[in-house]
Amino acid sequence: MNNKLYIVMVGLPARGKSTTATKIMEDLRHDSVRVRIFNNGDLRRKMVSTNTSLAEFYDPNNREAVFIRERIAEINLAKAKKYMKTGGDVAILDATNASIERRNKIQAVLNDHPILFIECINNDEEILNASILRKIETSEFSHLSTEEAIRSFKKRISYYIPIYSSVKDEPNFIRINSLYKTVLREEIKNTLPYYDQIRDFLVTDTIKHLYLIRHGETFFNLENRIGGDSELTENGLSQAKDLAEYFSQMEIPLIFTSQKKRTIQTAEPIKAMQKKCTIIPIAEFNEIDSGICECMSYGEIREKYPFIYSDRKKDKYNYTYPEGEGYASMKERIDRGINKVMYLSNSSSNIMIIGHRAANRMILSHFLFRREEDVPYIYIPQDKFYYI
């Protein structure tokens, strides 16, 4: 039986191909499968002495650059084929592979073992912009300002769009939404080793270390008020500094927060004590919207809106604040936020989320089973954090 497989990634830049490829590699290696990634971008940065961050290098009318990029693709194909002949089980070709012509060439060259094409699609504009910000953090773009780098990368993408064609006639392929981890279409005409494992893994959330933290003490906390956009107290700032000290010896490349001041203020000291760290505010992790009760204390709600106070106590999970939301109606956006975290965190070992009491309850229940009626009562302190 042939237990060897080529995996060929397909997709426009910044669509999650490398993230997906890395996670597949790590998963297969856990089962002692010999697997290696052959990334065209990595080879390009080693081979080409001139700077390739400028979009013009990807212009199909730039004949010299086209020749170089074709040569790089050929070298990586040869490397992958040699790897399989010398003991490798799975070789992953990580590049855009956007055109039918390129994929036909791949099939002609890699003719010794079956090929599985995996196409990554993601049209979420917010996530695309966040992915581009991560891409331009590399040394390749260090000579450009953030604005110049973003413009250059977006122009690079624009050069791929006219030649881009989705997989459809290839004998074995999976097309996935790389943000939501859903299979959009699949066609498998051959018996492929590891296929069931790979397919299951593509639609499964995986984490190594998740640190779920609630923001430090705020002025609203002192007054028992809900919602709003209060800042941290001196005690809250001290709590943030203590967290920064605790995590200073760990590598925290990304900190996901809500868009509220109190979560970002809690994240800033942690970032300051990291060598390289980015704070990414996500609207999906904002605290529960308490509608007409926003910024009120529980005492004021009981006095002004006794019907709200009593109705919510009867079924806290399913209750929705007038003109606001509830735990049940938060679920969709919280799940969407978690998908964004998984997408953007790449293969990072340590993931950190700094959120709010209700939001963190929902995040925690996403990973650890809790009965719906118990979720609104999960303990979320400000002087401790959850580690998953």
Answer whether 103's CB lies under 8 Å from 170's CB.
yes
Topology of the domain covering 209-387: Rossmann fold (3.40.50)
Q: Is the pLDDT score of 206 beyond 80?
A: no
Same fold, 5-202 and 209-387: yes
pLDDT band of residue 343 (cuts 50, 70, 90) is: confident
Beta bridge partners of 9: 118
Q: Which residues are known catalytic residues?
A: 214-215, 221, 262, 287, 356
Q: Is the pLDDT score of 381 beyond 60?
A: yes
pTM (2 d.p.): 0.82
Q: Is the pLDDT score of 1 beyond 60?
A: no
Q: Is the pLDDT score of 2 beyond 60?
A: yes
Q: Is the pLDDT score of 138 beyond 90?
A: no
Q: Is the pLDDT score of 113 beyond 80?
A: yes
Distance CA 151, CA 89 (A): 40
Tens of pLDDT, residue by residue over 7-37, are 999 999 999 999 899 989 989 998 999 999 9
Tens of pLDDT, residue by residue over 248-303, are 999 999 999 999 999 999 999 999 999 989 899 999 999 999 999 999 999 999 99
CA nearest 107: which of 179, 33, 189, 6?
6
For 204, 212, 353, 383, the CA distances from 240, given in Å and listed in that order, are: 33, 14, 13, 10
- Per-residue pLDDT at 51: 75
What the block records as the tokens of 221 is 């906390």
CATH code that applies to domain 5-202: 3.40.50.300
Distance CA 323, CA 289 (A): 8
What the block records as the tokens of 364 is 């925690």
pLDDT band of residue 143 (cuts 50, 70, 90) is: confident
* Residue ranges covered by each domain of the chain: 5-202, 209-387
Residue 117 has phi, psi (to 5 degrees) of -90, 130
Answer whether 147's CB lies under 8 Å from 46's CB.
no
